[in-house]
Amino acid sequence: MIEGYHKLTRQQQLEQLAQETDVDLSELTELAMDSIHQQQIENYLTDFNLPEGIAVNLVVNGQAYVVPMVTEEPSVIAAASYGAKMVQRAGGFSANSRRIMLGQLLISSAQPAPIIDYVKKQKSHLLKVANAAHPSMQARGGGAKNLRIRQLTATKLSVDLMVDTREAMGANTINSMVEAVKKDLVTQQIDVDMAILSNLADQALTEVTCQIPVNQLGVEVAKKISLASDYAQIDPYRAATHNKGIMNGIDAVVMASGNDWRAIESGAHAYAAQNGQYQGLSTWDVVGDQLVGRMELPLPVATVGGSIGINTQAQLNLKLMQIKNAKQLAEVIAAIGLAQNLAALRAIVSEGIQSGHMRLQAKSLLIEHGATQAELGDAVNRLVQAERIDAKNAQQIIKQLRK
Ligand code: NDP
């Protein structure tokens, strides 16, 4: 056990780490970095790099985008670009989004009726209290806009504060607001157990749709894509994987834009279970001669706040996408998610997901086993033709090339 690690100097931290682990001090010294991130997180050691690539062909609301995506998974960017291209040929995606965030005050009481009555009667006073806790948001045209009270059980209540956080995700703003409301309620002898933002941002939904002529895909493929989406509506095992494919695209852009992907993940999955059963976030239906794709999910992403301001790469990525506001960013992200989903479903119901992945998988495996840049081209060709793409064959191929 390491106690007081955060109080040690950097050199002492490295020495302590070396002592507690099997890693040499020299290796740790080489790994350790000095950077701005030292101020950002606790017990900073180094930066952890992930690859960033560009998805192309995306058209949303008539505008063409190049989309930076941060992901370690091969074939995600290729699939997003391919899905986007199928939709681009058919006119592109349509998307719209709204943004109200929600904070909760959770209250338990044996007698909830007077509390419900008080909160309803004092709604405008409580909204004023919330806004006074972060007046700059109201000055921007945002701020606390509404409040409701829900009875969760016979003795438990949730007061939900709805806040327009403008260009920010608003977690900290909302937390300050609900804590101020909590203080006010306490003066009325109302015991508030917790006051905190909810990540089920179901008032910050982004909807994206697209239509592709059935004959562009082939009637059979279009019908099978629709069938695949039906399975995700009726079976949570299938829905989890269906949504993982969507989040492959969404997370990659959320990360590239410096946003909090845990917030987006938790909101998306909570929303996917809103009907009491976990379901696919998107649906695909054959309507007449069109395959119609639709998806709606919470996407409270931001263009300011959090670490976005100090993340120069995120700033550049927002510029690359020519993003003017948070709503537009949410719409682009939702479209990438649906493009990703389309490409994955098309592959699964036709040639199977593995064939497209094979070259990329082979490449990753060869890199892992030490293939150099110069060896990769030949090595990949040999490995995809091998009986199996596995570590043993990868090692053998590298050996053969070096003979
Ligand atoms: P910040 O605390 O950074 O607040 C947003 C900042 O942006 C404010 O300081 C605001 O200034 C400024 N700002 C400048 N221009 C605008 C504009 N046009 N619209 C809105 N704000 C503007 O971030 P958030 O409150 O957004 O919180 C996000 C962070 O909170 C993320 O890092 C997230 O990871 C983290 N977080 C997430 C939680 C969760 O998801 N459950 C919980 C807790 C934290 P001003 O002060 O003048 O209004």
3-state secondary structure the chain: CCCCHHHCCHHHHHHHHHHHCCCCHHHHHHHCCCCHHHHCCCCCCCCCCCCEEEEEEEEECCEEEEEEEECCCCCHHHHHHHHHHHHHHCCCEEEEECCCEEEEEEEECCCHHHHHHHHHHCHHHHHHHHHHHCHHHHHCCCEEEEEEEEECCCCEEEEEEEEECCCECCHHHHHHHHHHHHHHHHHCCCCEEEEEECCCCCCCEEEEEEEEEHHHHCHHHHHHHHHHHHHHHHCHHHHHHHHHHHHHHHHHHHHHCCCCHHHHHHHHHHHHCCCCCCCCCEEEEEECCEEEEEEEEECCCCCECCCHHHCHHHHHHHHHCCCCCHHHHHHHHHHHHHHHHHHHHHHHHCCCHHHHHHHHHHHHHHHHCCCCHHHHHHHHHHHHHCCCCCHHHHHHHHHHHHC
Per the residue annotation, which of 73, 160, 230, 378 is the catalytic one? 73
Going from the Cα of 144 to the center of ligand 1, the distance in angstroms, rounded, reads 14
Highest mean pLDDT out of 27-41, 105-119, 370-384: 105-119
More confident residue, 351 or 100: 100
Average pLDDT over residues 13-35: 95
Going from the Cα of 172 to the center of ligand 1, the distance in angstroms, rounded, reads 6
Residue 160 pairs in a beta bridge with 104, 148
| Mutational pocket test of ligand 1: of 41, 260, 261, the residue with most ligand atoms within 8 Å of the beta carbon | 260
**pLDDT value of residue 355:** 67
Dihedral angle, C-alpha 309, 315, 318, 319, nearest 10 °: 130
Q: Whose CA is nearest to atom 47 of ligand 1?
A: 136
Q: Whose CA is nearest to atom 26 of ligand 1?
A: 170
Is residue 357 part of the annotated active site? The answer reads yes
List, for residues 270-311, the tens digit of each pLDDT value. 999 999 999 999 999 999 999 999 999 999 999 999 989 889
Residue 235 pairs in a beta bridge with none
Task: State the closest ligand 1 atom to the C-alpha of 306, by its place in the atom list counted from 1.
Answer: 32
Q: Whose CA is nearest to atom 18 of ligand 1?
A: 167
Examine the pLDDT at 356 and tell me if it is beyond 80: no
Q: What is the mean pLDDT of the chain?
A: 95
Going from the Cα of 5 to the center of ligand 1, the distance in angstroms, rounded, reads 29
Examine the pLDDT at 183 and tell me if it is beyond 90: yes
Is residue 244 part of the annotated active site? The answer reads yes
Burial of 33 (0-12, 13-18, 19+ CB in 10 A): exposed
Average pLDDT over residues 116-137: 97
Examine the pLDDT at 364 and tell me if it is beyond 90: no
Going from the Cα of 168 to the center of ligand 1, the distance in angstroms, rounded, reads 5
List, for residues 161-175, the tens digit of each pLDDT value. 999 999 999 999 999
Measuring CA to CA, which residue among 336, 166, 193 is closest to residue 251? 336
Q: How far apart are the first and last CA of the chain?
A: 49
Examine the pLDDT at 353 and tell me if it is beyond 70: no
Average pLDDT over residues 51-74: 97
Is the separation of the CB atoms in 75 and 245 below 8 Å? no
Per the residue annotation, which of 121, 244, 319, 392 is the catalytic one? 244
Examine the pLDDT at 142 and tell me if it is beyond 80: yes
Examine the pLDDT at 352 and tell me if it is beyond 70: no
Q: Whose CA is nearest to atom 11 of ligand 1?
A: 136
Q: Which two tokens stand for residue 22?
A: 């099997």
Is residue 260 part of the annotated active site? The answer reads yes
More confident residue, 351 or 129: 129
Name residues contacting ligand 1 (CB within 6 A): 136-137, 140, 165-173, 197, 199, 260, 263, 302, 304-307
Examine the pLDDT at 360 and tell me if it is beyond 80: no
Examine the pLDDT at 254 and tell me if it is beyond 80: yes
Q: Whose CA is nearest to atom 35 of ligand 1?
A: 171
Examine the pLDDT at 195 and tell me if it is beyond 70: yes
Q: How confident is the model at residue 146 (pLDDT cuts 50, 70, 90)?
A: very high
Phi, then psi, of 325 in degrees rounded to 5: -155, 170
ipTM score for this prediction: 0.96
Is residue 22 part of the annotated active site? The answer reads no
Q: How confident is the model at residue 385 (pLDDT cuts 50, 70, 90)?
A: confident
Going from the Cα of 54 to the center of ligand 1, the distance in angstroms, rounded, reads 27
Q: For the chain, what percent of residues have pLDDT higher than 70?
A: 99
Examine the pLDDT at 36 and tell me if it is beyond 90: no
